[in-house]
Structure 1
Amino acid sequence: MGIKMGAALLVAGIAGLANSFPAHAGPLEDRVKAGEPIRIGFTNGPIYAFLDDQGQPKGFVNTIALDLLKSMGITKIQPVPTEWSGMIPGLQAGRYDIITGGMSILGSRCKNISFSEPIAKTGDAFLVPAGNPKGIHNYKDIAAKNAAFVTYSGANLIEAAKKEGVADEQITQVPSGTEVVAAVRSGRADAGGMTYFEVKNVADESKGELEATSPNDLPEWTQNYVGLGFRSEDADFMARFNEALKKYIGTPEMIEAVRPYGLTEVNLPRSTTTEWACSNR
């Protein structure tokens, strides 16, 4: 093989290899300067983030994100619904630019992505059949009664359940909240774990078939702080986002915007920082 022919084949091979992978979108700042839409990734679920009947992003996390981006002069948004377990891998792979799915700031997640400063404080709860026949109120009840527990893959409740003594074989992981509800409704699970807002919304719409436990029945350390997820290489953009958040969090404008989703002043993160949450959750 001649040198020229070998070089040509090498170039062609490199080009072919490059074309076999999706092009990296580049840092968020570059997308903004190029006039490209900001892609927000989230799982369709009540309260936190979902698409409405017109395909518009709704939910309190999307609402806060869109308000803040607008204040930064950014209005071109592309929603990218995905499964819960795919949010962090999707962000890392560049399939979207910001996670707006209501993700709690946990130490294990802080090792993989960066989080904005907290936007809300939330708790978890269990979805159980009406009357709570097995008397399940917390993780220790699940462990002691050898109950079947279901939650979605990648949820913070998995870590919490194991820490409280629930065995692996008692835990079923499913793709989303829809499957959590189906498992409890069908009797395949005795309790389904989700955020309190999700559980209450499902229970309220179940016409008395299901009910929600109280988030106060779970340990205080399971109270979590929600942030928006960014790639580490977008630190400059996230810093600008946090500056806008600082001016917005807790304002009458914000409280009015999220009120339709059940959030009030009691859900404000107060003085809690992402640094603290990464170290203590």
Structure 2
Amino acid sequence: MKKLLLTSVLILSMIALAACGSNDDADAEGSSSKLDELKEAGKVTVGFADEKPYAYEEDGELKGAAVDIAKAVFKELGIEEVEGHLSEFDSLVSGLNAGKFDAITAGMAIMPKRCENVAFGEPEMKYGEGLIVEKGNPLNLKSYKDIAENPDVSVAIMAGATENDYVQTEGVDEGQIQSVPDIPASFSAVSSGRADATTGTEMTVKMALESADNDNLEFVEDFEQPNIEGVPSYGAAAFQQDHTDLLEAYNEKLKELKEDGTVGELLEDNYFSAEGNSVDPSITTESVCSGEVYED
């Protein structure tokens, strides 16, 4: 009787295990990848911050260099519609990982810290830094070190922007930094006298100042680029770390569009220089994430 009972238990266990295995296989076969999901929908949702010329919205249309590159890549993947979701810059990564959007396309700089939280595509563009000051530059600020050397100087910087780390690396005290939500707020801080300067990526602050038509401010033409890790910056699209199929497919098409000159043309169409802002093929996301690209 005991043998019969034991045999019955073993048989039932084997049936249960087989059933579980069958269900797992069915799930594996039936599940679709993120790339398949987007292709089927024909639409991808991207998070962006309002920052010209990388990504911005104008008359209801999503524009900018990073946006145009992403649109071209997704089109090659068979995904025609790109829907933009405006977000504050420092909320892009958390929004991506919360599933609010499928990708980030904001010209976001690849940084080792960010690489821990998102999967960056290969670099799409490179860029330097810029400084905006009061008209006439009364404090003669030409570098981040100039700000650091005068503890009475304050600088307004967009929350979440890489410049927060850059200025501190150059010696600027955290107490000298005013955190603001966006570029217009940083200009307002300087124009009103609440801050002495503001900084951001070169093209961003230069274009924003031209659009603002603010006679109280000026772009520092002879700004000295900091010699630190992260400068120049390399901008790229970003994805959730477990969406490897989407990342790989995006990188494959991006490489083709770089090689046939499309990416260079799109940079030119968005106020960048195809020669000065394109990325050398030897520069990879892996080398930027590791910091290797900045080693002498």
State the 1:34 CA deviation.
3.5
Give the alignment's Cα RMSD to 1 decimal: 1.8
Aligned length: 255
Contact 2:42/2:78, CA 8 A, preserved across alignment: no
Other structure's SS at 1:217 match:
coil
Asked whether 1:78 is paired with 2:83, we answer yes
Partner of 2:246: 237
Match of 1:175 among 175, 181, 186: 181
Corresponding position of 1:154: 160
Q: Quote the Cα distance in structure 1 between the aligned partners of 2:261 and 2:193.
A: 43
Q: Is the 8 A contact 2:131 2:197 kept in 1?
A: yes
The residue aligned with 1:120 is 125
Q: Check the 8 A contact 1:106/1:278 in 2, yes or no.
A: yes
Q: Residues 37-63 of structure 1: CA distance to partner in whole angstroms, max 9, x if unpaired? A: 21000011210101111x121000000
1:33-52 matched pairs, under 5 angstroms: 33-35=39-41, 37-52=43-58
TM-score normalised by length of structure 2:
0.81
Q: Which residue is equivalent to 1:21?
A: none
Partner of 1:213: 220
Instruction: Spell out, residue by residue over 1:150-181, the C-alpha distance to the aligned partner (whole angstroms, 9 max, x if none).
Output: 11111101111111111111011111112111
1:140 and 1:165 in contact (8 A); partners too: yes
1:204 and 2:210 correspond: yes
Q: Percent identity?
A: 32
Confirm whether residue 277 of structure 1 aligns to residue 288 of structure 2. Answer: yes
User: Structure 1 pair 234/255, CA: closer, same or farther in 2 (3 Å)?
Assistant: same
Partner residue, 1:131: 136
In the TM superposition, residue 233 of structure 1 has moved relative to its aligned partner by: 0.9
Q: Report the CA distance shift for 1:192/1:27 in structure 2 as closer, same or farther (over 3 A).
A: farther
What is the alpha-carbon distance in structure 1 between the residues aligned to residue 85 and residue 222 of structure 2? Answer: 30
Partner secondary structure for residue 104 of structure 1: coil
Letter in 2 for 1:278: C
Which consecutive segments of 4 or more residues in structure 1 shift more than 6 A?
none
In structure 2, the CA distance between the partners of 1:275 and 1:216, relative to structure 1 (3 Å rule), is: farther
**2:117 is paired with a residue of what secondary structure?**
coil
Distance 1:201 1:36 in 2: 33
Structure 1 residues 27, 166: CA separation in 2 closer, same or farther (over 3 Å shift)?
farther
> Structure 2: where are the runs of 5+ without partners?
1-31
Where does 1:18-97 land on structure 2 (aligned, <5 Å)?
A: 28-35=34-41, 37-53=43-59, 55-97=60-102
Q: Which amino acid aligns with 1:266?
A: G
Q: Compared with structure 1, are the counterparts of its residues 145 and 250 closer, same or farther at alpha carbon in structure 2 (3 Å cutoff)?
A: farther
- Which residue, out of 142, 145, 150, partners 1:140? 145
Structure 1 residue 200, shift from structure 2 partner: 1.0
Q: Which of 270, 277, 283 is the aligned partner of 1:267?
A: 277
Report the 3-state secondary structure (helix = DSSP H, G, I; strand = E; otherwise coil) of the residue aligned with 1:80: strand
Shift of 1:66: 0.2
Tell me the distance in 2 between the aligned counterparts of 1:250 and 1:137: 37
Query: If you compute each CA radius of gyration, which structure gives the higher value, 1 or 2?
Result: 2
- 2:201 paired with 1:195: yes
The answer on whether the counterparts of 1:196 and 1:215 sit within 8 Å (CA) in structure 2 is no
Amino acid at match of 2:79: I
